[in-house]
Amino acid sequence: MTPADLSLTVLRAVRSAVDDGVLAIPAADVPRAVKVERPRPGGHGDYASSVALSLARAAGRAPIDVAEVLRERLRRSPGIGAVDISGPGFLNFTLRDDAQLDLVRHILAIGPKYGRRPPTGERDQPCYRADVRAAVTADAVRRILVSQGVLVRTGCEDAADPDWALLGVRIEAQGSRGHLPTDIAPLPVPYTARELLGRLGVDAARWGLLSAAAHDQARLGDELLHQHEGNPLFRVRYAHSRTRALLRNAEQLGFHSAAERHVEDGQTLAGLLGDHPLVLASAARLRAPDRVARHLEATADALLDFQHTVLPLGDEKPSAAHRSRLALAEAAGTVLAGGLALLGISAPDQM
């Protein structure tokens, strides 16, 4: 069960409780979506939701009572091992032991589009300040919003610079000042698009502009070009290329990936892969591509720690454990490639 699946499962429980009259909530107050996230301090399990707290006022009941109603409807749901209540009414979910296998199979079946949502009918028109960092940020925001099913048309507060296209920016509406508030305005940089392209190239320039939060200075030093573990862009792209190399090496050894067994020491990596849809949704809501960049860094680091156990060693024969490890690594590569694509950055198969 992925976080998106869990979110839908909780939403269905809310709607069924309302339809059955167990929760007396007006239809207008029934949420269109339910947020699930990693448990906060004091919580436990794999994921948590505060939906009971948000519904309590409309239901005219204490949050813990609403949580108990939902708990009874969720505890036997496929993929959920346990549902507990913590604090004033937080729902805490522990997924079944085979959830990792379901997650890996799901990612491999969907491919780089994992974490993306179908069209929602929602429309948005972000407006960005007329400078290169804002333009690249707006382009990434557009990609992320589209991945979440939103129909997007970006606007620039002033005349767009055609050179922004050199960094992959798709220029749409221009001169929106007076019609839309300028809501994408990260700290500017003292460079033009041509200067960044000439010194760093498209991929490094975009990473440098996007990986820092909007209120922080962009990281645009020459270290972005170094093929060294101290360069986060290199680590992310290298981690992706390692997954491709593992698949090639496994093929030479006569086996392929298959999610057949739970990988105990892959829990950290699997948890990050499971969080990917939540990160995309958060980045879209907050218009913060840096959240995607940070998540890719964490995923890459977990994959690079895990990779050494994927292939058989010495005279060891490939087993179900190796096939499952390879499947988890392949799923990680899929998430890295999809996340980089949303930032407008390439994911090479070899480095």
Position 274 scores a pLDDT of: 87
Position 173 scores a pLDDT of: 60
What distance, in Å, lies between the first and last C-alpha atoms of the chain?
33
CA distance 15 to 8: 10
Position 172 scores a pLDDT of: 74
pLDDT tens-digit map of 87-101: 999 999 998 878 889
Contact 208, 218 (CB under 8 A): yes
Torsion 101-103-109-111 (CA) sign: negative
Contacts of 102 (CB under 8 A, 6+ apart): 1, 2, 79
Task: Give 78-84 contacts, CB < 8 A, sequence gap 24+.
Answer: 78/1, 79/1, 79/5, 79/6, 79/9, 80/1, 80/6, 80/9, 82/45, 84/44, 84/45
Please report, in tens digits, the pLDDT of each residue of the chain (351 residues total).
Answer: 778 888 889 998 998 889 888 899 988 888 988 999 988 877 788 899 999 999 999 999 999 999 999 999 898 787 888 999 999 999 999 988 788 898 999 999 999 999 999 999 999 999 999 999 999 999 999 999 999 999 999 989 888 899 999 999 987 765 544 456 889 999 999 999 999 999 999 999 999 999 999 999 999 999 999 999 999 999 999 999 999 999 999 999 999 999 999 898 998 899 899 889 889 988 998 999 999 999 999 999 999 999 999 999 988 999 999 999 999 999 999 999 999 999 999 999 998
Contact 134, 106 (CB under 8 A): no
Position 177 scores a pLDDT of: 46
Position 3 scores a pLDDT of: 80
141-to-117, 206, 340, 351 alpha-carbon distances in Å: 15, 13, 13, 28
241-to-173, 175, 341 alpha-carbon distances in Å: 37, 41, 14
Written as one string, the DSSP assignment of 75-98 is TTSTTEEEEEEETTTEEEEEE-TT
342-to-20, 31, 205, 280, 300 alpha-carbon distances in Å: 41, 28, 15, 9, 16
- The two tokens of residue 74 are 């969720």
CA distance 130 to 159: 7
Position 41 scores a pLDDT of: 78
Q: Closest by alpha carbon to 329, among 270, 253, 254?
A: 270
Can you give the pTM of this predicted structure? Answer: 0.80
